[in-house]
């Protein structure tokens, strides 16, 4: 029986998020020490646990059919793979940072400076595009300590909250790109695996749509229903049910979570009451 081979990071936050996504897609994985691989018990997939910077190469060579990793690693490794899906988690940015007491004068600050990074290809491209002549010092980890020990004048690294920079006496001065978890694929994937990938992508999109949207229920005067429907169009149109109390109805709809706080004031001004916002487990459009 054909199996879809999926490469995921063997440890770390991205690994946990990747396995949680598969769980939300209804794929059951046995408990594993993640030495190398494991197989799902209810869907034909095999999980390969790899270093994140090895995943693009494994996918390019067809050892894995697909892989989950940060977009930053995909761009840095520059392998021949297909970017299939943006997954909406593990968001971060890649930025340049300098000692907090330094005066930043703009991008030209980096001329004739030494920059420590684990992403030399991306940084080199950025400097070429901005006509900056700088020395790039490639290091494998603990990039943030480089200025403090005299190895470099500045760093280029992943930033999530910025707390690690602050702890090491640095400040973020230039954002080069934003990154998130992505799904990459082997360009010459075989037909059986391609069909399994289609099924998995369907599940992933149902999960993604669910956590990006919320189910909203509210009571409203009938006179305000048209205005509220304009605010909450839903997937097709809202569901409207009469209440026992004359002149009132219950309205059910779907809204993107990031839009809810933008419209809550208007809903209240139209007389909406008893507003409930409920998570959606799966959402199939």
Phi, psi at 89, each rounded to 5°: -135, 175
Is the model's pLDDT at 33 over the cut of 70?
no
Query: In Å, how far from its chain's centre is CA 134?
Result: 31
Do 91 and 159 meet the contact criterion of CB atoms below 8 Å apart?
no
Residue 235 has a pLDDT of 81
Residue 61 has a pLDDT of 97
pLDDT band at 69 (very low <50, low <70, confident <90, very high): very high
Is the model's pLDDT at 1 over the cut of 80?
no
pLDDT band at 213 (very low <50, low <70, confident <90, very high): very high
Taking Cα atoms as reference points, which of 48, 94, 49 lies closest to residue 71?
94
Domains of the chain: 4-89+181-189 (3.40.190.10), 92-179 (3.40.190.10), 213-279 (3.30.70.120)
Q: Tens digits of per-residue pLDDT, 162-205?
A: 899 999 999 999 999 999 999 999 999 999 999 999 999 999 99
Is the model's pLDDT at 36 over the cut of 80?
yes
Residue 32 has a pLDDT of 62
Is the model's pLDDT at 148 over the cut of 80?
yes
């Amino acid at each position: 029986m054909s199996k879809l081979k999926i490469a995921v990071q063997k440890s770390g936050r991205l690994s946990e998020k990747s396995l949680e996504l598969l769980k939300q897609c209804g794929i059951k994985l046995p408990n594993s020490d993640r030495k190398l691989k494991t197989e799902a018990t209810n869907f034909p997939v095999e999980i390969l646990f790899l270093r994140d910077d090895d995943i693009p190469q494994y996918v390019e060579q067809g050892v894995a059919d697909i892989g989950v990793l940060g977009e930053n690693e995909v761009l840095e490794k520059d392998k021949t793979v297909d970017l299939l899906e943006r997954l909406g988690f593990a968001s971060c940015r890649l930025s340049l940072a300098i000692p907090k007491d330094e005066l930043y004068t703009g991008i030209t600050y980096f001329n004739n400076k030494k920059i420590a990074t684990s992403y030399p290809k991306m940084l080199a491209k950025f400097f070429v595009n901005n006509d900056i002549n700088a020395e790039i010092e490639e290091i494998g980890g603990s990039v943030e300590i480089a200025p403090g020990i005299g190895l470099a004048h500045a760093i280029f690294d992943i930033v999530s909250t910025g707390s690690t920079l602050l702890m090491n006496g640095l400040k973020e001065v230039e954002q080069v790109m934003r990154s998130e978890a992505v799904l990459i694929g082997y360009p010459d994937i075989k037909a059986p695996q391609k069909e399994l990938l289609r099924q998995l992508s369907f599940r992933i999109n149902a999960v993604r749509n669910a956590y990006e949207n919320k189910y909203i229920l509210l009571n409203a005067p009938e006179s305000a229903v048209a205005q509220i429907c304009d605010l909450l169009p839903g997937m097709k149109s809202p569901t409207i049910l009469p209440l026992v109390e004359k002149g009132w109805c219950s309205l059910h709809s779907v809204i993107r979570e990031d839009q809810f706080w933008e419209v809550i004031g208007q809903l209240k001004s139209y007389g909406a009451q008893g507003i409930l916002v409920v998570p959606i487990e799966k959402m199939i459009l």
